[in-house]
Chain A
Amino acid sequence: MAFASQKDFVSGLMFMAVGGAFAWGAVNYEIGNAARMGPGYFPFMLGLILVLLGVLVTFNAFKSGPPGGDKIGALAWRPLVFILGANLLFGALLVGIPAFGLPAFGLIVAIFGLVIMAGYAREGAKLKESVILAAILAAGSYLAFVKLLNLQFPVLPWFLAN
């Protein structure tokens, strides 16, 4: 069976799955009736609507679409992993993750971590450039956010903080 639009087919399945999950979750809450809605009423209704829309989208995926089957195409693993990874690394370094025994390294280290890791999201990244950029951003962020705006960040690593 040939799709007119692979993107629409997968989107439709996604909407059905998410709508179904929300509706299924809503059943655990009290649904009530229209005059006295429980916490589950509105999400249950919306979940069913989303499933219905998903069915329609999937159905349409066989009917019409741009020429060439509207393929989803390859995932950009490199930027995906490095950008999201940089973000997670920033959070982990900034405040630490007590559950894993990771102490807080503070803002400055976290900025270096984020900028250097994010740099590798690009082909042909150069470590030296990333370090320079990180130094500039770290100095700027320290001045703007910590000194000027007085935001509460752990700035220094745990062993220097006290």
Chain B
Amino acid sequence: MDLINNLALGFGVAFTLQNLVYAFIGCLLGTLIGVLPGIGPLATIAMLLPATYGLPPVAALIMLAGIYYGAQYGGSTTAILVNLPGESSSVVTVIDGYQMARKGRAGPALAAAGLGSFFAGCVGTLILAGFAAPLTELALEFGPAEYFSLMIVGLIGAVVLASGSLLKALAMIVLGLLLGLVGTDVNSGVARYSFDIPELTDGISFLAIAMGVFGYGEIIQNLSHPDEKREVFTGKVNGIMPTAEDFKNMIPAVLRGTALGSALGILPGGGALLSAFTAYTIEKKTKLKPGEVPFGQGNIRGVAAPESANNAGSQTSFIPLLTLGIPPNAVMALMVGAMTIHNIQPGPQVMTSNPELFWGLIASMWIGNLMLVVLNLPLIGIWIKLLTVPYKWLFPAIVLFCSIGVYSTNNNSFDIWMVALFGLIGYGFIKLGCEPAPLLLGLILGPMMEEYLRRALLISRGDWSVFVTRPLSASLLVVAAVLLFIVLMPSVKKKREEAFVED
């Protein structure tokens, strides 16, 4: 069989002692850097990229895969422990993960994220190996209209996630979309809303907004309560591993998340982020078992599903990268850069002209995932110790890492001023009861949505009906409408408000 032969070839390349060591080092470094609050996978990979320059191509790619998975897992760890999403796809992990940590269940949350990711990574790798070629054809069916409709589905999904008023969540999305448009318009070259500030022509950095709104806003809010009233973590940590009950709840969630992530990851543009959001939305729609913790208050499924989806999605998002040469997100764009440095041009020719490399990379991704679990399950105990550090020492450190993190991504002090500005805005959002997560999603999707809308309407000569006459696009819009309808149904609306009542 082709698949077995190919994978055997790949593992033959990847399973040398030297390459395993590189995978381990990559994972270790990725985790150590990625776990620092405010430094997500993008910044981590950017920082560690130079470390791989001197290696042979296969070893370098293996190490990069290790760094990538390590950084991603490190980012989830920070999201769970200190409520700081280091990257967009862990925005949803924060919701239930942080609540679990507050209740002394950080261990199971981290284990669920790790094990779920590993399982999803295995499945994703198999799918990547088996279906790379045929799946590419499906992705090609997606025209601009379909992409636009898909993003509408993603954004409506984000509304379902937000707590509090639906209208405000919608408004926050639109606000995010608008903020995403700041910077140079790719079509006309006009610098929009940049007030003649050169730094703003590149757009507002995602990191600056995420750190300002989630990091600083949250710290200021926390400090506004007197010491004794401030939310403290339950002193005792109830076990590191999930209980049998947890596993029972987790497994279906992991399976659903993996399936969803594998499917959505193939679409360039959405990938990990959309699948994490959608997976969480779907978990929330399933019925709670009697006695199960509601979502938003620390349900383990709320961690396991998006983390699995996110990992499966990032695995299968290699498909458009390796087969079409299109990087689906910023991290993948960096990987393309790394590959080009090693004289590998991602694209359809890699699979045929350089089979050892192609299959070696696929095998190394699986190894990267494995290393992650091997490395991180024992480390969970150490990460949890982080929580016992008193808040008065933790918060100046978080402020510091945020500042260093934004500065080091561009080596520009302008981003430091931006974090302060968005910290102020973020505190304003908290005061006004506006949920910031949808804003972040809108921010990322803004430029893409405009681009696809523009292309779709250009092809249709300005005819808006193109979104409903193309069957794939129409069905996506129906999904969005149904989602919105479900949330607005009086019975669901009431339940949703109950679920989000502040504790």
Chain A residues engaging chain B, CB cutoff 8 angstroms: 7-8, 10-11, 14-15, 18-19, 22, 25-26, 29-30, 33-39, 41-43, 46-47, 49-50, 53-54, 56-57, 60, 70, 72-73, 75-76, 78-80, 83-84, 86-88, 90-91, 94-95, 111, 114-115, 118-119, 121-125, 129-130, 133-134, 137, 141, 145, 149-153
B434 within 8 A of A: yes
Contact A87 B462 (CB under 8 A): no
Please give, as numbers and ranges, the residues of chain A lying within 8 Å of B216 by CB-CB distance: 83-84, 87
The 4 closest A-B pairs by CB, nearest first: A76-B224, A35-B462, A91-B416, A79-B223
Tell me if B178 and A57 are in contact (CB < 8 A): no
Which residues of B are found within 8 Å of A15, using beta-carbon distances?
A: 171, 175
The answer to whether B392 and A79 have CB atoms under 8 Å apart is no
Q: Count of B residues near A, CB < 8 Å?
A: 65
Interface residues of B in 416-447 (CB under 8 A from A): 416-417, 419-420, 423-424, 427-428, 431-434
Of B116-124, B261-269, B307-315, B402-410, the one with at least 4 CB within 8 A of chain A: B402-410
A43 and B180 CA atoms in complex are apart in Å by 10
The answer to whether B490 has its CB under 8 Å from any CB of chain A is: no
Cβ–Cβ contact A111 & B400, under 8 A: yes
Main secondary structure of the interface of B (DSSP, over half): helix
A137 and B433 contact, CB distance less than 8 A: no
Across the interface, which residues of A come within 8 angstroms of B458, CB to CB? 35-37
Closest partner residue, chain B, to A13 (CB atom): B432
Chain A, residue nearest B393 (CB): A133
Q: Is the CB of A22 within 8 A of B395?
A: no
Q: Are A141 and B462 in contact (CB under 8 A)?
A: no
- For A119, the closest partner residue in chain B by CB is B396
User: Across the interface, which residues of A come within 8 angstroms of B135, CB to CB?
Assistant: none
A42 B420 Cβ-Cβ under 8 A: no
Q: In the complex, are the beta carbons of B223 and A91 less than 8 A apart?
A: no
User: Which chain A residues border B171 with CB–CB below 8 Å?
Assistant: 11, 15, 50, 53-54, 57
> Which of B396, B403, B416, B423 is most buried by chain A, counting CB atoms within 10 A of its CB?
B396
Query: Nearest B residue to A7 by beta-carbon distance?
Result: B433
Neighbouring A residues of B463 by C-beta, 8 Å = 34
**Bound form: Cα–Cα A79–B174 in Å:** 29
In the assembly, what is the distance between CA of A8 and CA of B488, in Å?
A: 19
Segment at the interface with A among B16-24, B233-241, B449-457, B472-480: B449-457
Beta-carbon contact of B174 and A50 below 8 Å: yes
Question: In the bound complex, do residue A83 and residue B413 qualify as a contact, i.e. CB atoms below 8 Å apart?
Answer: no
In the bound complex, residues from chain A placing their C-beta under 8 Å from that of B167 are 53, 56-57, 60
CB-CB under 8 A for A91 and B432, given A47-B178, A53-B171: no
Judged by a CB distance under 8 angstroms, whether B385 is at the interface is no
A79 to B221, CA, bound (A): 8
12 A/B residue pairs, CB under 8 Å, sorted by A? A15-B175, A34-B462, A35-B458, A37-B458, A43-B181, A46-B177, A46-B181, A60-B167, A84-B216, A87-B216, A88-B420, A114-B403
Q: Do the beta carbons of A76 and B181 come within 8 Å of each other?
A: no
Q: How far is the CB of A45 from chain B (nearest CB, A)?
A: 9
A34 nearest CB neighbor, chain B only: B462
| A residues less than 8 Å from B224 (CB atoms) | 76, 78-79
Contact assessment for A39 and B185 in the assembled complex, using a CB-CB cutoff below 8 Å: yes
Instruction: Answer whether A43 and B178 are a contact pair too, CB < 8 Å, given A34-B464, A57-B168.
Output: yes
Bound state CA distance, A34 and B424, in angstroms?
A: 37
Please state if B48 and A133 are interface contacts (CB–CB under 8 Å): no
